[in-house]
Chains A and B, each alone.
Chain A
């Protein structure tokens, strides 16, 4: 979902660069509270893993369209929303500065959509879903899948808003058409995002449950989950 140079005009891109910088500064300040000796290397690993999986474009439905992981939901799950947004931002900066992927002038827009909007939407959903769903592997899987899927759609609509503000082609008033196309395609890409996120989170929860931030940070339901007795057995 990387915006190339020339798609959004310069002034709007500059405004979003400033916005993104301010938001990332807030993430650093707030994220430091989460960053301890254990989370710091883990967050580096999450960034490296997201970089790797972003290379793996998977085909969706017909007509030569592909999609790839954005990673906001995965990062939010494993290292929390603040550090998670920073992880995705690190990936986007490396891609723009070293791999020529996503314009350097468009970096603020891309960070806003994928690192900020995607991660924020995902974490809000995670916080709600983990509270209402049972604390089982199935509950965790559904949480990861749904949060990941919808976070991709939210990120895609971030682009639509940016295009409305500074798109370089006159759509002839048909912004709704672009919004619909983007939402539809990214609903399908979101299924892939959901599957990858759920699989990864379940794997980490199985090997090292203490490394899943969302399970540590979010309060547990008042009613003990059914699994408790089994866990102590």
Chain B
């Protein structure tokens, strides 16, 4: 891979780590669309616990791995909820990237003619990008066409 690809990967990972590590603490804790749809017929208190009525959500059972050290996006043993949520998010991003990138790397096709063709495409794309950078931003999309 070219240096530019490494830079893009590093930048993207940094954004993901910030979102999962910091911004996640400002996420809404209310039930999502599916869970709230299943609560129809029940009444809930301020903490979204069922206090009466009858609804599909009452059939919900414990999670098989509910006592995992990272269950419910927190690190067991860390009292500070900001740190707990953030750290679990950071670990989640790193684990997901490791499994994803590692798995896809093992699955990738290699050593055939089309891979060599990609090396050429990499070179062309640099030219295409330079053109896009010089032109109006609206042309970035067009530049992508030239590369393919």
Tell me if B96 and A6 are in contact (CB < 8 A).
no
Nearest residue (CB) in B for A1 is B34
Q: Could you tell me the dominant secondary structure of chain B's interface residues?
A: helix
- Say yes or no for B79: interface residue by CB 8 A criterion: no
Tell me if B144 and A212 are in contact (CB < 8 A).
yes
Tell me if B145 and A230 are in contact (CB < 8 A).
no
Q: How far is the CB of A213 from chain B (nearest CB, A)?
A: 10
Tell me if B107 and A210 are in contact (CB < 8 A).
no
- Point out the residues of chain A lying under 8 angstroms from B12, CB to CB: 45, 48-49
Tell me if A225 and B142 are in contact (CB < 8 A).
yes
Residue-wise, chain B 53-90 has the 8 Å CB interface mask toward A (1 for contact) of: 00111111111111010111100000000000000110
Question: With contacts A2-B34, A5-B63 known, is A41 near B137, CB below 8 A?
Answer: no
Tell me if B92 and A94 are in contact (CB < 8 A).
yes
Tell me if B93 and A51 are in contact (CB < 8 A).
yes
Tell me if B104 and A35 are in contact (CB < 8 A).
yes
- Please report the total number of A residues contacting B with Cβ < 8 Å: 97
Can you spell out 20 A-B residue pairs with CB atoms less than 8 angstroms apart? A31-B107, A36-B115, A41-B101, A42-B5, A42-B9, A44-B105, A46-B100, A47-B96, A47-B99, A57-B29, A99-B73, A101-B73, A104-B63, A207-B8, A210-B128, A210-B144, A216-B147, A231-B139, A231-B143, A233-B135
Q: How far is the CB of B7 from chain A (nearest CB, A)?
A: 10
Q: How far is the CB of A47 from chain B (nearest CB, A)?
A: 4
The A34-70 residues at the B interface (CB cut-off 8 A) are 35-53, 55-60, 63-68
- Point out the residues of chain A lying under 8 angstroms from B141, CB to CB: 135-137, 139-140, 205, 209, 215, 225, 227
- Point out the residues of chain A lying under 8 angstroms from B27, CB to CB: 55-58, 66, 68
